[in-house]
């Protein structure tokens, strides 16, 4: 059953991504990479359930989300832009297909980074970051959420691909098979999350590189 919890912190991480910290519902359990059903607890919005991924870890005292907002859609994420500390959110069932299987290459577009933020933070805490790599696709530098955090976490294993801006040291364009191939060493698993068109394109690149479906862990946003 859904539980209502209060917003403890709400702020912009980038021009369109909100970080929202909530009280942790009693008995809530999840694994890094999983998402939960989420609704705004007021009469106009309480039936509008959306999925958001935990960016906090299961053992943390609060739960945290990074939410990309779409003001033009007049949906839940636009409504969240006017929420304040103390406002209430309904948290429902936990689910999700993304979980850590072994060392690999993570590929995300836009808000698709959220399951990987949790998984990589968890691996760091356990001293098991190893040679995991993260290829992050965005339009411009100003769209890269948690840029410093990922840089500090992964160093040269954090690879940025920008479609709308040329920046030294960053790949330019969409994620290609060539960009992925350059990063593959002994990586067995490929983790993929983002908007469906990006997932389709990158899924085809992985197949063209000879990666079998059983080694691709993915979820569309």
Interface positions with ligand FAD (CB under 6 A): 35, 50-53, 65-68, 70, 73, 75-78, 96, 111, 114, 219, 221
Q: How far is the CB of 53 from ligand FAD (least distance, A)?
A: 3
Which lies closer to ligand FAD via its Cβ, residue 53 or residue 56? Answer: 53
Please choose, from the candidates 76, 73, 81, the residue with its C-alpha nearest in 3D space to the C-alpha of residue 16: 81
Residue nearest to ligand FAD (CB): 75
Which lies closer to ligand FAD via its Cβ, residue 64 or residue 171? Answer: 64
Q: How far is the CB of 15 from ligand FAD (least distance, A)?
A: 14
Which lies closer to ligand FAD via its Cβ, residue 58 or residue 75? Answer: 75
CB-based contact 161:180 (threshold 8 Å): no
Strand partners, 88: 6
Q: How far is the CB of 191 from ligand FAD (least distance, A)?
A: 14
Which lies closer to ligand FAD via its Cβ, residue 108 or residue 162? Answer: 108
Q: How far is the CB of 36 from ligand FAD (least distance, A)?
A: 9
Ordered DSSP codes for 146-179:
THHHHHHHHGGGEEEEESS---TTSEESS--HHH
Instruction: Report the distance separating Cα 198 and Cα 203, nearest Å.
Output: 8
Residue tagged 């990158």 (tokens): 202
Instruction: Report the distance separating Cα 29 and Cα 221, nearest Å.
Output: 22
Which lies closer to ligand FAD via its Cβ, residue 4 or residue 78? Answer: 78
Q: How far is the CB of 96 from ligand FAD (least distance, A)?
A: 5
Beta strand 189-194 with 88-95: parallel, antiparallel or unpaired? unpaired
Task: Residue count of the chain, please give it.
Answer: 221
């Amino acid at each position: 059953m859904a539980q209502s919890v209060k917003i403890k912190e709400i702020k912009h991480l980038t021009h369109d991504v909100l970080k929202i910290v909530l009280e942790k519902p009693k008995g809530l359990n999840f694994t890094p990479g999983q998402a939960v059903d989420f609704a705004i607890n007021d009469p106009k919005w309480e039936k509008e359930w959306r999925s958001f991924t935990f960016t906090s870890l299961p053992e943390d005292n609060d739960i945290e989300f990074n939410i990309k907002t779409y003001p033009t859609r007049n949906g839940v994420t636009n409504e969240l832009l006017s929420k304040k500390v103390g406002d209430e959110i309904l948290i429902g069932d936990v689910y999700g297909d993304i979980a850590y299987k072994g060392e690999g290459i993570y590929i995300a577009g836009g808000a698709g980074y959220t399951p990987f933020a949790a998984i990589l933070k968890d691996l760091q805490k356990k001293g098991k970051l190893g040679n995991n790599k993260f290829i992050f696709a965005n339009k411009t530098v100003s769209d890269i959420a948690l840029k410093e955090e990922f840089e500090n976490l992964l160093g040269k294993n954090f690879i940025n691909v920008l479609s709308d801006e040329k920046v030294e040291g960053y790949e330019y364009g969409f994620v290609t098979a060539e960009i992925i191939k350059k990063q593959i060493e002994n990586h067995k698993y490929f983790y993929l999350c983002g908007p469906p068109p990006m997932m389709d394109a990158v899924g085809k690149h992985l197949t063209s590189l000879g990666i079998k479906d059983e080694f691709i862990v993915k979820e569309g946003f």
